[in-house]
Amino acid sequence: MPQVFSEWAFGMMRFLTDNWVDGDVITTRPPVLIHLARQEMLDIFLDETDCEWLMWIDDDVVPPMDAIDTLLKTGKQCISGLYHYKYEPYSPVWYRHPVWSKRKGMMTYEQIWNPPSDEVIEIASSGLGCMIVHRDVLKKIEQPAFALTEKAEDHGFTRRVREAGFKIYGHSGVQCTHLTTMGVTTGHWLALNAYMHSNPFFTNRPDLIKELSAFAGRDMTQEVRLWEEPDEPDPLLRYVDRDVSPDFAELCMSLVDVTDSNILIYGDPLGSVSKVLGTRGNKIKSLEPLLEFGSQRCTIEDNISNVKVGIVLDHPSNPNLIAHQLWDGLTWDSTVYFIMNHDHLVSQGFKIVKLPDERLGIATKEKNG
């Protein structure tokens, strides 16, 4: 017997009670591979009913009571409500800019991070957690409409819709709840988005792509998006991929309080962290040469003394050498922030004073080390 959240069952009963019309057909299927279940339901819709519209609703998505009415009134033949991923960063399950990735062998998409409020916009793809599709669309798309030829079965479906000559839309006013142990709504996304934009390392991310494009003399947006680390990685794209990630920005959040200090830094060849810290009254010396692109983005000083802060942002090929350089450059009351294994720091005389999680550590120089 399939299990669902009680909140979903209650929400769906309310939804159906408010929207049921004589002649409507509801189809469910026991747990199977999702693309097979969706295809079977589509076949039933086309072959065994004369219904005009098909509405997809996932078993962990609760639409608002007026979802059907609101979506139908747009006059669009394929339109999705708005719901969000169940886990951080709770981003919308809407996409744009489909690009074929030779390396992945499939279409890839860019997420729409900030959809407008209560508007209908054209999108390239979306999840099928809350979508209505007209029969005319479903009759014309390539069959089978669902397959595991792309990252998700819904991307394959929306691609077939576009290839059949139809457009796909999203209505941001139809805000659904995506259930886990709690219900994720647009409010979760907005709250987290506000938090992320309070982090200068996050808000600096869009500038990196613009500056890289200007440096390369071409738009690098898609190249960065499609990049995957090969056996012999391009150091420029490897660090761009790291520096644009929300995860890296979150790790660097602890550095926002570093102001008016002399800093030794390692693992910042694009100058992403140095650029932000340089606007906060800090003077920075790098323990490695910056890449040409990085040297244009921030100011690095060769001769600074009385260093109060060390920052290690990468796993060095010679960790003991980096630890030794830090030891020689720091004063006794200096602090080192590092994202790496700390054994070599201990061996060089540093004392680990705090490890908030497995990725980030803080150390101080021991007078008796």
Q: What is the pLDDT of residues 180-193, one digit of tens each?
A: 756 666 666 677 66
Q: Is the omega angle on the peptide bond into residue 115 within 30 degrees of 0, that is, cis? A: no
> Do 337 and 309 contact (CB within 8 A), yes or no?
yes
b/e string for 150-178 if b means 16 or more Cβ within 10 A? bebbbbbbbbbbeebebebbbbbbbbbbb
Taking only the tens place, the pLDDT of each residue in 34-44 is 788 889 899 99
The proportion of the chain whose per-residue pLDDT surpasses 90, expressed as a percent, equals 31
43/247 Cα distance (integer angstroms): 42
> Do 316 and 266 contact (CB within 8 A), yes or no?
yes
pLDDT band at 245 (very low <50, low <70, confident <90, very high): confident
Residue predicted with more confidence, 67 or 365: 67
> Do 244 and 205 contact (CB within 8 A), yes or no?
yes
Each as own residue / partner, the long-range contacts of residues 20-25 (CB below 8 Å, 24 or more positions apart, any chain) are: 23/51, 24/51, 25/49, 25/51
Residues 276 and 146 in one domain: no
pLDDT greater than 90 at residue 107: no
Residues 186 and 206 in one domain: no
Mode of pairing for the β-strands spanning 168-175 and 78-82: parallel
In a domain, 287, yes or no: yes
Residue 369 has a pLDDT of 46
- Domain limit, last residue, from 166, 190, 214: 190
Closest C-alpha among 83, 95, 113 to residue 180: 83
pLDDT greater than 60 at residue 105: yes
Domains in the chain, number = 2
Residues 142 and 170 in one domain: yes
pLDDT band at 315 (very low <50, low <70, confident <90, very high): confident
Closest C-alpha among 163, 179, 143, 148 to residue 78: 163
- Averaged pLDDT for residues 60-70: 90
CATH number where 212 lies? 3.40.50.150
Residues 206 and 345 in one domain: yes
262: left (phi over 0), alpha (psi -120 to 50) or beta: beta
In a domain, 249, yes or no: yes
In a domain, 196, yes or no: no
Residues 174 and 102 in one domain: yes
CATH number where 139 lies? 3.90.550.40
3-state secondary structure of 129: coil
Mode of pairing for the β-strands spanning 361-365 and 130-134: unpaired
Element (H, E) at 276: helix 272-278
Domain containing 67 equals 6-190
Residue 352 has a pLDDT of 74
Residue 12 has a pLDDT of 54
Six token digits for residue 359: 């990725």
**Mean per-residue pLDDT of the chain:** 82
Residue 341 has a pLDDT of 67
pLDDT band at 98 (very low <50, low <70, confident <90, very high): confident
Check: pTM over 0.85? Answer yes or no: no
Residues 290 and 168 in one domain: no
Q: Is the omega angle on the peptide bond into residue 89 within 30 degrees of 0, that is, cis? A: yes
Residues 120 and 208 in one domain: no
Residues 76 and 104 in one domain: yes
Residues 184 and 212 in one domain: no
